[in-house]
Amino acid sequence: MPFLDQPRPLAFAHRGGAAHAPENSWRAFEHAVKTGYAYLETDVRATLDGELVAFHDRTLDRVTDGTGPVGDWAYPDLSTVRIAGTEPIPRLEDLLGAWPDLRFNIDLKDVASVALLPSVLARTAAWDRVCVTSFSGARLRAFRVLASAPVCLGLPPAALAAVRFRAARFSAVRLGAGAGAGTSTSTSTGTGTGTGPGWRRRAEGPAPACAQVPASVASPAFIRRAHALGLDVHIWTVNRKADMIRMLDRGADGIITDQIVMLRDVLLARGQWHPRP
């Protein structure tokens, strides 16, 4: 996966680095880029008129001077709303175009965004430099069907649970974000992890390449099982220095944080900081 072709561990600026500037704002993303980050994390939602914007919440109320669901606003009107009273809400297409060398971790937050994202990735030639994730397995399945090029995917929630609780049998369909109309293919080997790498070859379409989980899930055992399946493990949202060090010591392949300066300094001290080329 080209998205994952940088030296580990990967450092992700969560919502652009929300500890330093308003979340998912141009100012946050620009600060992360100036700090040296090659990986930016964001969320996407669809507007009433079919634009994809970088925004986390269902409604505008918490972080902007607007109100109501994002999906009830047409983009020309939404463009007048300000995050923290000062920052415009970026379009995803503009972010991808602003930094064509950077990687973006994209969390699909609503159903409408699923159908819109493939065309945005095609117009910006960004298939190789995004990873698409969601807390909804249904949204990931739908996106996978629509994707017209190989793309990095996060593991869907049901498969994350299977890895976490050491299920005895893994389904290629489940681990592959539920793609395909065929029958589930068992890949159980009866060994420690309960599976082998074969599910990745048998799953229809692009298989997930990474497991993105909170620190509470990222036990040493979970990381071992994920690695045995050929999955990178990215841990969110790690904002304390001691937690960053603990997750890195466990073998985390990536850390997602609001505290982007702190994580950079931790990685510098360990000789593991890999800034944007």
pLDDT in tens, 4-54: 999 999 999 999 999 999 999 999 999 999 999 999 999 999 999 999 999
Please determine, for residue 178, whether its predicted confidence score (pLDDT) is greater than 80: no
More reliable by pLDDT, 199 or 18: 18
Provide the Cα torsion 24, 30, 36, 40; round to 10°: 30
Between CA 154 and CA 63 the distance in angstroms is 27
% pLDDT > 90, the chain: 83
Please determine, for residue 175, whether its predicted confidence score (pLDDT) is greater than 90: no
Between CA 3 and CA 129 the distance in angstroms is 5
> Is residue 225 within a helix (H) or strand (E), and if so which, with residue range?
helix 220-228
Helix, strand, coil: what percent of the chain each, to 5? 35, 20, 45
Residue 193: the pLDDT is: 34
More reliable by pLDDT, 202 or 250: 250
> Is residue 30 within a helix (H) or strand (E), and if so which, with residue range?
helix 26-35
Residue 43: the pLDDT is: 98
**DSSP strands (E only) in 60-214:** 82-83, 87-88, 103-108, 130-133, 152-153, 210-214
pLDDT in tens, 205-256: 567 999 999 999 999 999 999 999 999 999 999 999 999 999 999 999 999 9
Please determine, for residue 107, whether its predicted confidence score (pLDDT) is greater than 80: yes
First CA to last CA distance, the chain: 18
For 25-34, 141-150, 164-173, 230-239, which range has the lowest pLDDT when averaged over its residues? 164-173
pTM: 0.88
For residue 62, give the amino acid letter: R
Write the DSSP symbol of residue 197: T
Give the pLDDT band (50/70/90) at residue 201: very low
Q: Which residues are catalytic?
A: 14, 56
Q: How do strand 87-88 and strand 39-46 relate by DSSP bridges? A: unpaired
What Rg value do the Cα atoms of the chain yield, rounded?
Answer: 18
For residue 46, give the amino acid letter: A
Residue 206: the pLDDT is: 65
Between CA 153 and CA 150 the distance in angstroms is 9
Between CA 14 and CA 32 the distance in angstroms is 9
DSSP SS3 for 42: strand
What mean pLDDT is reported for the chain?
89
Task: Say how many C-beta atoms besides its own lie within 10 A of residue 146's C-beta.
Answer: 13
Domains, the chain, with CATH or none: 2-150+212-217+232-270 (3.20.20.190)
User: Which tokens is 275 given?
Assistant: 């800034």
Task: Please state at what angle helix 260-270 crosses helix 241-249, rounded to 10 degrees.
Answer: 50
Between CA 184 and CA 26 the distance in angstroms is 43
For 49-63, 95-109, 173-187, 221-235, which range has the lowest pLDDT when averaged over its residues? 173-187
